[in-house]
Amino acid sequence: MSEANSLREAPVVVSDDRGSMRACVIRSTGGLDRIEIADVAAPGSPALLGGRDVRVAIRAVALNHLDLFVVRGLPGEYQFPHILGSDGAGVVETAGPDVTTVKPGDAVMINPGIWDGTCAFCRAGEHSLCVNYQVLGEHLPGTLAESVLVPEDNLAKVPALDPPISWAEAAAFSLVSLTAWRMIVTRARVEAGETVLVWGIGGGVSLAAMRIAKLRGARVIVTSSSDAKLAQARQLGADVTLNHRTQSVVQEVRALTARRGVDVVVENVGEATWEDSLRCLAKGGRLVTCGATTGPRVVTDVRRLFWNQYTILGSTLGNATEYAAVVRVLSSGALRPLVDRVYPLAEARTAFERLARGEQLGKVLVEVRGSAADPVVP
Ligand SMILES: [Zn+2]
């Protein structure tokens, strides 16, 4: 994993033999009406490009809030038509000459964060801190296409489970599980007996964070504006559920913790919840955040921060060691992704609209080839 991957040095070389493929793209940023299905150039063959890249025939793709932000427009240059999609699972089509860990025909899941392998952070194994970190579907052509080019180090074989994991479950695993693992295990270091508050349990990262915190032996309080989602969250292991539309989360958390507050708050909401998150923390508590779905400009009363000796932790995706660790947890049968709904590629925009409305509990999927309900045969 220390070798530089060739994706950056050899981005989509135009060659006569690569042909075209169906993909979900945008030609400009803006509203979800920009999303279209189009024929675009397929990625080149890794056998020709060389190095350690792998071409994966995508079976299914899970959507994330990141995809909505990409459509609206993120800083940085887009190369239109831009192929959307970060999560995905599929079958190895062809592999570069230096690839050793996967072979054509293998069923794989994709870690969407691509690192250069050469900077100081990469050499220290901290790949998601890479100074040239790029995410499939954001900085690079995404997974919502018949094929995608991915470095070997970003692939994990789909584990054999009983009952077998579906392509939808495999596609829904990587981004949220890796993100939540780094937040709960590496950054916040949640321990058995601690109390954790997770906002917005309908979100994929929030649900994964709740389940990982439960695996660590924590007591987990979750919130949602939907009583139906809270009922589902209880079935999935939540210890306490709060409706943040009808209840004061700060007051309820104080009552539930004998006025002490929680040890850890898991944030990805931003402006709408930030101040309440800090009010929910116990002295010496940790707030870990990976997102800002309601806006990035939060207000922090610095006096509360230093007097209560809070720790605020940022977190983004995760490194190769963390990805391997969370895949091992999946192999043990835990952390099986929850699938909300699956749409055909032709209806990808409808899938984005469902995610944008926040109706889901679990992941919204797009099936690219075949049925996403099919079991994966590793
Ligand atoms: Zn790097």
Q: What confidence category does residue 15 fall into, taking pLDDT thresholds of 50, 70 and 90?
A: very low
* Residues 308 and 249 placed together within one structural domain of the fold: yes
Computed from CA positions of residues 322, 355, 290, 260, in that sequence, does the dihedral angle turn out positive or negative? negative
* Residues 27 and 148 placed together within one structural domain of the fold: yes
Q: How far is the CA of 22 from the centre of ligand 1 (A)?
A: 32
Q: How far is the CA of 4 from the centre of ligand 1 (A)?
A: 9
Asked whether residue 325 is domain-assigned, the answer is no
Q: What is the pLDDT of residues 257-315, one digit of tens each?
A: 999 999 999 999 999 999 999 999 999 999 999 999 999 999 999 999 999 999 999 99
Q: How far is the CA of 74 from the centre of ligand 1 (A)?
A: 21
Structural domain that includes position 194? 181-314
* Residues 249 and 360 placed together within one structural domain of the fold: no
Q: How far is the CA of 308 from the centre of ligand 1 (A)?
A: 35
Q: How far is the CA of 125 from the centre of ligand 1 (A)?
A: 9
Asked whether residue 171 is domain-assigned, the answer is no
Q: How far is the CA of 9 from the centre of ligand 1 (A)?
A: 14
242 pLDDT exceeds 60?
Answer: yes
* Residues 198 and 259 placed together within one structural domain of the fold: yes
Asked whether residue 231 is domain-assigned, the answer is yes
Q: How far is the CA of 58 from the centre of ligand 1 (A)?
A: 26
* Residues 95 and 199 placed together within one structural domain of the fold: no
What's the predicted TM-score (pTM) here?
0.94
Q: How far is the CA of 5 from the centre of ligand 1 (A)?
A: 10
Q: How far is the CA of 134 from the centre of ligand 1 (A)?
A: 10
Q: How far is the CA of 63 from the centre of ligand 1 (A)?
A: 26
Write the CATH number for 197: 3.90.180.10
Q: How far is the CA of 131 from the centre of ligand 1 (A)?
A: 5
How does 131-146 read in b/e, with b if 16+ C-beta sit within 10 Å? eebbbbbbbbbbbbbb
Q: What is the pLDDT of residues 195-220, one digit of tens each?
A: 999 999 999 999 999 999 999 999 99
Helix (H, G, I), strand (E, B) or coil at 238: coil
Evaluate whether 314 touches 289 at the Cβ level (below 8 Å): yes
To the nearest whole percent, how much of the chain has pLDDT over 90? 91
Q: How far is the CA of 121 from the centre of ligand 1 (A)?
A: 6
| Range list of H helices, the chain | 46-49, 65-72, 120-123, 167-181, 204-215, 227-235, 249-256, 274-280, 302-307, 320-331, 348-357
* Residues 225 and 266 placed together within one structural domain of the fold: yes
Q: How far is the CA of 346 from the centre of ligand 1 (A)?
A: 36
Question: How many domains does one find in the chain?
Answer: 2
Residue 18 pLDDT: 67
Q: How far is the CA of 87 from the centre of ligand 1 (A)?
A: 21
Torsion of CA 11, 13, 19, 24, to 10 degrees: 30
Q: What is the pLDDT of residues 53-88, one digit of tens each?
A: 999 999 999 999 999 999 999 988 899 999 999 999
47 pLDDT exceeds 70?
Answer: no
Q: Kindly report the average pLDDT of the chain as a whole number.
A: 94
* Residues 232 and 135 placed together within one structural domain of the fold: no
Q: What is the pLDDT of residues 148-192, one digit of tens each?
A: 999 999 999 999 999 999 999 999 999 999 999 999 999 999 999
From the list 374, 370, 337, 356, the residue with the least C-alpha distance to 62 is: 337
